[in-house]
Amino acid sequence: MSEPQIPQPPSHMSAEEFREYGYAVVDWVANYLAHADEFPVVSTVAPGDIAAMLSDTAPEHGEPFADLLSDLDDVVMPGITHWQSPNWFAYFPANTSGPSILAELASAGLGVQGMLWATSPAATEIESKVLDWLVDLMDLPQQWKSTGRGGGVIQMSASDSTHSMLVIARDRKKADSGIEDMVVYASNQAHSSVEKGTRVAGIGHVRLIDVDSNWAMDPDALRVAVEVDIAAGLHPIAVVSVVGTTGTTAVDPIGSIADIAAEFGLWHHVDAAYAGNAMVCSEFRHHIAGVDRVDSYTFNPHKWMMVNFDCNVLWVADRKPLIETLSILPAYLKNEATESGAVIDYRDWHVPLGRRFRALKLWWVIRSYGAEGLRMLIRHHVALASDLANRIGADDRFELFAPHPFGLVCFTHRDGNEATRSLAQALNNSGRVAVTPSELGGVTFIRLTIGQTRTEQAHVDALWDLMDDLS
């Protein structure tokens, strides 16, 4: 009788192979970014085209890495829409940069799981410190620092941050009310994540409040809605203000909303997903006047700070209710550092337990560009947007649709909705740019966002020439 045999492990990529293919992948990415402007911006594949190029079953035997790499060109690239093209003017940007991409690589190499301070102290301490830097860089309330009563945390998305804040708002009122009677408020221009977060949190009602002529929440309408709900026996628990709505970058009046939130005991969460990035420049901070009186605030460095997706920042003015609501400590996570109370365990600050080392890319981007570089990017893009808006405003064929406080310009074709829609279609079909058609109050308009890392004057000039040709 022979001894039982331990089955063999699979063959792994050797350090030498990793080096060779790693260099090849870095070359591939460098080449892509240098030529991202040469692809048709919007992928033209039909549904199922990419799937048809994949085999129906997983391979039984491992394939050479060179084949994987060549499929990046042959299979993946046709189905890519080029968010990193400087001719990207659609949605909001999801911009990135060399230091951010390399930090993602280093973070993947370390492969740490930063759920607790103890599971990689550097991941937690760099995150806290860098978010404290951002408080100063954006002149946000000092109380939000990790050294104050509040604190910041990196989450995956603004939707997650808003959802977790609605859960806190719900739990702090649960002694007074059943959750089916609770009400959350936001303007009718707020992001869909407010409605989704309300639903996921099981909260009974969401009220979408009327806006003024600039698409910003009307605080008088908010007050009336809260009073009507109270009179009806319901329990208002939270209001979400938006700084830079997704439709038109409208700015809700945070200060007036904070007054109402204080009067009625509402949790006041600010969603500054896109426009929050502009707060590195002092000239935009009047848009967040009153921010010192809000409970929580979120923005996405993965939109406009050259930190690649995903990287969302959430700050709370007081971390106690957050940790009380989300902390659960099973025996297998107990450790001395946690019990000492001297450390932050970020698993208590959001829904997931596990977390990637995302602070590395934020740290590397801020260190590489400096505060000065972050401000230059915002000012460059906003000036380009303003210049484009002036050209649009001065042209008989077009009309500006909304104010353009940041990098988004919204306009219509004067011949009406159909003309606007076909212009958007022609722009996207040209392969040379990507834009987003949208609609508000029965009016079709085109959204042009200037925010891709490498978008410069020449790209905006080319966009303008194309608009001119196609109109």
Ligand X SMILES: *Cc1c(COP(=O)(O)O)cnc(C)c1O
Q: How far apart are CA 106 and CA 113, in angstroms?
A: 14
Conformation bin of residue 432: beta by default, left when phi > 0, alpha when psi is -120 to 50 = alpha
Task: Give the tokens for residue 186.
Answer: 């936001």
If one asks whether residue 96 binds ligand X (CB under 6 A), the answer comes out as no
If one asks whether residue 358 binds ligand X (CB under 6 A), the answer comes out as no
If one asks whether residue 246 binds ligand X (CB under 6 A), the answer comes out as yes
Residues 6+ apart with CB under 8 A from 30: none
Q: Which of 82, 145, 173, 191 binds ligand X (CB under 6 A)?
A: 191
User: Binders of ligand X: how many residues, by CB under 6 A?
Assistant: 14
If one asks whether residue 279 binds ligand X (CB under 6 A), the answer comes out as no
Beta-bridge partner residues of 182: 235
Q: How far apart are CA 274 and CA 265, in angstroms?
A: 27
If one asks whether residue 117 binds ligand X (CB under 6 A), the answer comes out as no
Amino acid at 71: D
If one asks whether residue 274 binds ligand X (CB under 6 A), the answer comes out as yes
Q: Which of 36, 203, 242, 261 binds ligand X (CB under 6 A)?
A: 242
If one asks whether residue 252 binds ligand X (CB under 6 A), the answer comes out as no
CA distances from 178 to 185, 199, 236, 238, 326 (A): 17, 15, 11, 15, 19
Instruction: Pick the closer one to ligand X by CB: 87 or 193.
Output: 193
If one asks whether residue 158 binds ligand X (CB under 6 A), the answer comes out as yes
Q: Which of 39, 88, 89, 92 binds ligand X (CB under 6 A)?
A: 92
Which segment (37-45, 165-173, 270-278, 419-427) binds ligand X by CB under 6 A? 270-278
Q: How far apart are CA 251 and CA 361, in angstroms?
A: 29
Least separation in angstroms between residue 341's CB and ligand X is 31
Instruction: Pick the closer one to ligand X by CB: 154 or 384.
Output: 154
User: Do 37 and 87 form a contact (C-beta atoms < 8 A)?
Assistant: yes
Q: How far apart are CA 155 and CA 167, in angstroms?
A: 15
If one asks whether residue 312 binds ligand X (CB under 6 A), the answer comes out as yes
The DSSP symbol for 442 reads T
Instruction: Pick the closer one to ligand X by CB: 439 or 468.
Output: 439
Q: Which of 85, 96, 193, 296 binds ligand X (CB under 6 A)?
A: 193
The DSSP symbol for 143 reads G
Q: Which residues here bind ligand X, judged by CB under 6 A? A: 92, 157-159, 191, 193, 242, 245-246, 271, 273-274, 300, 312
